[in-house]
Structures are given as structure tokens and as C-alpha cells.
Homo-oligomer: A and B are copies of this chain.
Amino acid sequence: MTMTSAPTSHAVPVAPSTGALRPLGLDEVRITGGLWAERQRVNGTATLDHIEHWLEREGWLANYDLAVAGSLPDGRRGREFSDSEVYKYLEALSWEIGRLQSVSDAAASVDRLEARLRAIVTRVAAAQEPDGYLNTRFGRPGQEPRWTDLEWGHELYCLGHLFQAAVARVRTRPDADDGLVEVARRAADLVCEVFGEGGDERICGHAEVEVGLAELGRALGEPRYLEQARIFVERHGRGTLADIEWGRSYYQDDAAVRDADALRGHSVRANYLAAGATDVAVESGDRELFDALDRQWDRTLERRTYVTGGQGSHHQDEAFGEDWELPSDRAYSETCAGVASVMFSWRLLLASGEARHADLIERTLFNVIETSPDASGTAFYYANTLHQRVPGAPADPDAVSPRAHSSLRAPWFDVSCCPPNTARTFASLAAYLATADASGVQLHQYAPSIVRTVLADGRAVAFEVETSYPRSGSIVVRMLADSAEPWRLSLRVPAWAGGATLALRPTGGGEAQRWPAEPGIVSVERAFAAGDEVVLELPTTPRFVAPDARVDAVRGCLVVERGPEVFALESVDLAATPLAASDFADLRVDPRVAPVDAVVGVGTGDDARVLVRLVDARTDAAADVPLVPYHAWAERGPSTMRVWIPAL
């Protein structure tokens, strides 16, 4: 197998050739403790197995075997896009292998995952046709011909995920000889041939191939793929896809990317496209396109994003609503839209270096992506409601559930993109924590972690981060080595963290210095000595947050936040209070009583709650009731729930 050398050897999902910041990869950053380490542990030990079990059980993997046996379309199972879940799973496996490579004593796990990945790649590769075409649903006798249903067929979408899997593989195991990268390359070559300039002028009804091609081009040093990504991005808005009941905005074929005001239509499609378009803008130096995307991001955040970071206000078309249309009870806030939003924001952050993008990434990680899986990592929310009016029935652990029953986490769905999509995100999460530039290193997300990298000019940087964030706002960065030359450590101060401070505590008891730290980016430049500590103190007193007055759905309500976490009121927490018999719809929060930290019960950090004073508007009964972090709701059986609570 031949392979073009990649322009970066680091294990990162996104590697722009230019931009304000260079992302640090899994080989440079490792999460060592806290919420995210626990999630990575569960993801690696439970979720991945769970996904493969269901991919087999539902026949989505066997579809490839049927293709090889020549028996398709008979026996094919799953929706038209089921191949894509296999590719997302391969991507998740690849990142997990990459992650474990930097963990001592994980060699056995790596070997086990390698074997599984290779077994699946072998089945997939066998189904690829001689010209590179790969899809179990189209193109064989008795199936619809290739590319005849771009609106709904998802052929290019599936390939986009194949490309992302190959990118993960080549960046974590560049010497692998399993064939995945070659499969992707042959498929990408075919896409360029069929859909290149002068060829088929249409786009895919579900964006994804754009971002997949762009990153594959970067990873393999293949400008044709980047060019094809550009072509697809530019073709959006030409109306080459059929008009449908929800309008062409559903698949972003209503307006050119550079002409749009905000993200619109299907919220996963919109974010995948925006991520790919950002790659294209960066690689082609298209400032106009980049600025358009950045403006769309701003407007979408201001007017079309839930307090959780969730996006998508419609069940019907899984789509953004109009500006300010953000119902809590019908919030769709699809898990995969959260994943896609992080992809978009991360690309803008790398290009611009601006903290607002990392702020949204943090909000979305804690309150959308982490909300989807339960503690065991084997049941998921597809949609993430912000208001559960009626306790949902528990999902059947042995059955496929409808995708958008927001009342419950379920093991698997007829459309089951969220399990592998969260899995690939968690496995690669360390790659979203830190970046480097000519001046030094930037920390964007806070977790117990170790960072070791070498700056472009050869200066070595090594530090560890010690924190119980988000339970406390103290973040201690401790240097692990002496630096001969000064370098700059930059830290993000989230927008919610008014009153933060930054301190430098030199090793050996030298005099500490302390500065106020305004929201945005703060930094310390120094020839650090091993043991030097930089301490960021973020105030994490629980707080009420009022909505924008233009959001009709939550007028007169308050939400409680602490640090990056949004809290929720769950009816199970009323049982032991004087409000046990109250109608959930009658409860009001008393805004004059500040929310306070509380530890309820014994146990882990997940039991750290926030108390608020609630009043029954009908009976005047009152009680201090503990709220739960939104991402941990519905872990204690069926319950009603609300994030925004009407104020007295």
C-alpha cells in the first residue's frame, strides 16, 4: 500500500494548514481524571462494545457480507444511511486506539481494538466495487442505481464518514496496513471523478462529504480532495436538489453558504456543512466565506441556540426554527447536532483563536453531548428536551427505539447516529483541550490532564492540569519541566466567569503574583521552572440566568447554572419535600433566594447539587429543592423535568 506523507503527524481530528492556532493531538494531551476521564473510560470499555453489538445485531455490518456474497438487495437491513454508523464506529475505534497508545498498560486493549477494527475494515473493503464505489444500498441489480436519490440516499454522506474514519486512522496509526485509508482514497477518487468540475453538478442531501473530503485531503496531502470539498460547498444554494415540503433550506440548498445569515434547516446537516465550508475557506484563503461563516455562527448562537448549547427547535424536520423560536418542551437539540456544532466551533477557534468559540464548545460538551449517554454508556438520548412534562416509560433495553422519544435514553434507535457520534467525540476529546502557536500553548477546556508538546521553534512544553472542575473553579497548571526560553501559557476565562483571577506561584516559595482575569483569554509569559504553578480561579457560585426577552418560550423563567453546567429540576427530587403533591406546572422558583451549593446524599461528584427555593403557586407551599446537572437527569427513573423554571 502506498501512502502520501501527511502534512501533520499529530493525532488530531482537524489539521488546518494555516490558522491562529495549531491543535494539540492525542499524542500531546491526555485527560487523566475527572468527569471526562470517567466518560472516556466508560466510552472505551462499555460504549464501543455496545455499538458493535448492535451493529451486528441489526445487520448493519452484515450488509457488507451480503454485498460480497452478491445476495443484495435481499436481506439488507437498516435505513439507507446505516453504512455511516459503521464508519463512525471505525472512527471511534481509531481515536480510542490513538488515545490508549499514550496510556501505560493499555497495550492489551489496543491489540483487542485493533483486531476488531481490522476485522470490520476487511468486511467493508471486500464490498467496495472495482471503481471505488462503496454503499450497501445502491447500485446493484435490484437496487436503485447509484446517485439516483441524492436528496435522501445519503451515499455521499456515508462516504464522508468513511473519510473521517480514514483520517482518524492515518493520524493515529500512520503505519497501519489494514486498508482503511486505501478504501477511502479509492472512494474519494471516484467522488472527484463523478462530481468534479464538468461532472454531475449536484450535492448530497445530507452534508458531510464536504468536511470528510477536506480533512482527507489534508491528512493525505491530496489537494484534489480539498478542491472537491470546495466544489460541493460552492454548489449549495443552486437548487440542484428537489424542492420538498420543508423547503430546500432543509438541506441548505436554498442559498449559497456565503450568502446566508444564520444556520438553518436540518441542524446536523447545517453544522456539518458549516464545518466543511470553514475548512474550505481556511485552505483556499477565502476570507469572505470565512467571515460569512463566523457571522452565521454568531447569529445562530444569539438567536437559535438553547441555553444548553443545543440546536434544533423542530421535531418534524429536525431543524432550526426561526430566530428566537426555542421551545423547551419541543426542543429537538439533537445529540448529533451538538457533535456537529463542536466540529464547526472548533474550526473557527483554530482559525481565529477567539474564546467565544471555546465557550460554546464547553457548553455543548457538558450540556448536550454528555447528556446523551447515561452513566453506563449504553443508553442514549437522540433528542434532548429541556422540559419533560410527563414521565416517560423506560426504554426496552432489548429493542430498537424510535429516535426522538425525548422522554428516555434508549440502547439503540432505528436511526442510531448518536451512539457512534458521541463515541468518536469522547475518544478524541483530549484533542479539543489545547492548542499551540508561535508564542506558546493555549488551554481551552479544563480537565485533569497532562500536556507535552514542542513548539514550532523547538521549545519544549510540559505541564499538568490539576482541577476538580466543574465542581470547583480552581485550575492549577503545574509545570513538569524547566523551560530555557520564555513561552506564553494562555487560559480561557469563560464568559460566565466574571470576577476570575489568575495567579502565578513560582516553585520554591517565591512571591506569588495575582491578577484579575476578565472573560476572554488571559496569559502568563515566563521561562517557567518545573513546579511553577499558574492558577486560574473561576467563580463557580451557582447563578440564576435570565433569558433573552425575545425568546417567547421561556419568558418569565430562570435557569440555574454553575460553572459550565446547566441545572435541571427533576420531579424525583420533590418526593421528600412539602411539594411532593404539587402539580409540576404550578412550581415557581423564588428569585430572591440565591441558589446555593449542596451535597445531597453521599457519593461522587455527581451528587453535588444546587438548592433553589421553590413555591407552589396554587398552595403557597415552599421548599428548598436540589437541582441536578442537566446532563445527569433521568438517571433515577422516569421523571418530569424542566431546565427553565418560571419565576415567582
Q: Please, what's the 1-or-0 string for A335-369, where 1 marks a CB less than 8 Å from any CB in chain B?
A: 00000000000000000000000000000000000
CA distance A246 to B554 in the complex (A): 26
Q: Please, what's the 1-or-0 string for A389-406, where 1 marks a CB less than 8 Å from any CB in chain B?
A: 110000000000011100
Selected contact of A555 from candidates B316, B329, B550, B557, CB within 8 Å: B557
Selected contact of A325 from candidates B389, B403, B552, B554, CB within 8 Å: B389
Query: Please, how many residues of chain A have a CB less than 8 angstroms from a CB on the other chain?
Result: 34
Nearest-Cβ distance from residue A404 to partner chain B, whole angstroms? 8
Interface residue SS majority, chain A: loop
Indicate whether A576 reaches chain B with its CB closer than 8 angstroms: no
If A315-B316, A316-B316 touch, whether A329 touches B389 (CB-CB below 8 Å) is: no
CA distance A549 to B616 in the complex (A): 12
Indicate whether A327 reaches chain B with its CB closer than 8 angstroms: yes
If A329-B321, A646-B555 touch, whether A550 touches B389 (CB-CB below 8 Å) is: no
Nearest-Cβ distance from residue A15 to partner chain B, whole angstroms? 39
B329 touches A387 (CB 8 A): no
A325 touches B329 (CB 8 A): yes
B586 touches A550 (CB 8 A): yes
A147 cross-chain contacts in B, Cβ below 8 A: none
CA distance A204 to B555 in the complex (A): 42
Q: Which residue of B lies closest to A640 (CB)?
A: B322
A327 touches B324 (CB 8 A): no
Indicate whether A190 reaches chain B with its CB closer than 8 angstroms: no
Indicate whether A384 reaches chain B with its CB closer than 8 angstroms: no
Nearest-Cβ distance from residue A80 to partner chain B, whole angstroms? 17
Indicate whether A556 reaches chain B with its CB closer than 8 angstroms: yes
Indicate whether A585 reaches chain B with its CB closer than 8 angstroms: yes
If A314-B315, A316-B315, A330-B330 touch, whether A323 touches B585 (CB-CB below 8 Å) is: yes
Q: Which residue of B lies closest to A551 (CB)?
A: B585
Indicate whether A608 reaches chain B with its CB closer than 8 angstroms: no
Nearest-Cβ distance from residue A621 to partner chain B, whole angstroms? 16
B327 touches A553 (CB 8 A): yes
Q: Which residue of B lies closest to A332 (CB)?
A: B316
Q: Which residue of B lies closest to A402 (CB)?
A: B245
CA distance A390 to B555 in the complex (A): 20
Indicate whether A617 reaches chain B with its CB closer than 8 angstroms: yes
A322 touches B329 (CB 8 A): yes
If A550-B586, A553-B553 touch, whether A389 touches B316 (CB-CB below 8 Å) is: no
A330 touches B329 (CB 8 A): no
A328 cross-chain contacts in B, Cβ below 8 A: 552
A617 touches B549 (CB 8 A): yes
CA distance A315 to B314 in the complex (A): 9
Q: Please, what's the 1-or-0 string for A533-567, where 1 marks a CB less than 8 Å from any CB in chain B?
A: 00000000000000001101111110000000000
A329 cross-chain contacts in B, Cβ below 8 A: 321-322, 325, 327, 552
A321 cross-chain contacts in B, Cβ below 8 A: 329-330
Q: Which residue of B lies closest to A647 (CB)?
A: B555
B646 touches A389 (CB 8 A): no
CA distance A406 to B5 in the complex (A): 54
| Complex interface residues of chain A between 384 and 437 (CB less than 8 A to chain B) | 387, 389-390, 402-404, 414
B557 touches A389 (CB 8 A): no
Q: Which of A314, A325, A330 is most buried by chain B, counting CB atoms within 10 A of its CB?
A: A330
| Complex interface residues of chain A between 619 and 648 (CB less than 8 A to chain B) | 646
A585 touches B245 (CB 8 A): no
Nearest-Cβ distance from residue A405 to partner chain B, whole angstroms? 8
A322 cross-chain contacts in B, Cβ below 8 A: 329, 389-390
Nearest-Cβ distance from residue A121 to partner chain B, whole angstroms? 33
CA distance A316 to B332 in the complex (A): 12
A556 touches B556 (CB 8 A): yes
A557 cross-chain contacts in B, Cβ below 8 A: 552, 555
Nearest-Cβ distance from residue A569 to partner chain B, whole angstroms? 13
Selected contact of A389 from candidates B324, B390, B553, CB within 8 Å: B324
Q: Which residue of B lies closest to A318 (CB)?
A: B316
CA distance A389 to B552 in the complex (A): 11
CA distance A324 to B245 in the complex (A): 28
A246 cross-chain contacts in B, Cβ below 8 A: 402
| Complex interface residues of chain A between 60 and 82 (CB less than 8 A to chain B) | none
Nearest-Cβ distance from residue A549 to partner chain B, whole angstroms? 6
Nearest-Cβ distance from residue A583 to partner chain B, whole angstroms? 8
CA distance A315 to B404 in the complex (A): 14
A552 touches B315 (CB 8 A): no
Q: Please, what's the 1-or-0 string for A15-45, where 1 marks a CB less than 8 Å from any CB in chain B?
A: 0000000000000000000000000000000
If A314-B315, A327-B330 touch, whether A552 touches B646 (CB-CB below 8 Å) is: yes
A583 cross-chain contacts in B, Cβ below 8 A: 550
Selected contact of A387 from candidates B403, B552, B585, CB within 8 Å: B552
Q: Which of A245, A390, A583, A586 is most buried by chain B, counting CB atoms within 10 A of its CB?
A: A245
CA distance A330 to B332 in the complex (A): 13
A390 cross-chain contacts in B, Cβ below 8 A: 322
Q: Which of A323, A387, A555 is most buried by chain B, counting CB atoms within 10 A of its CB?
A: A555
In the complex, the 6 A-B pairs of residues with the closest C-beta atoms, listed nearest first: A550-B585, A316-B316, A245-B402, A322-B389, A555-B556, A315-B316
A selection of 28 A-B contacts at a CB cut-off of 8 Å is A245-B403, A245-B404, A314-B316, A314-B330, A315-B315, A315-B316, A316-B316, A321-B329, A321-B330, A322-B329, A322-B390, A323-B585, A324-B389, A324-B585, A325-B389, A327-B329, A327-B330, A328-B552, A549-B586, A550-B583, A550-B585, A550-B586, A552-B553, A552-B554, A552-B646, A555-B556, A555-B557, A556-B556
Known: A314-B330, A322-B390. 8 other contacts (CB 8 A): A245-B404, A246-B402, A314-B316, A315-B316, A322-B329, A323-B585, A553-B553, A555-B555
Binding site for B on A (CB under 8 A): 245-246, 314-316, 321-325, 327-330, 387, 389-390, 402-404, 414, 549-550, 552-557, 583, 585-586, 617, 646
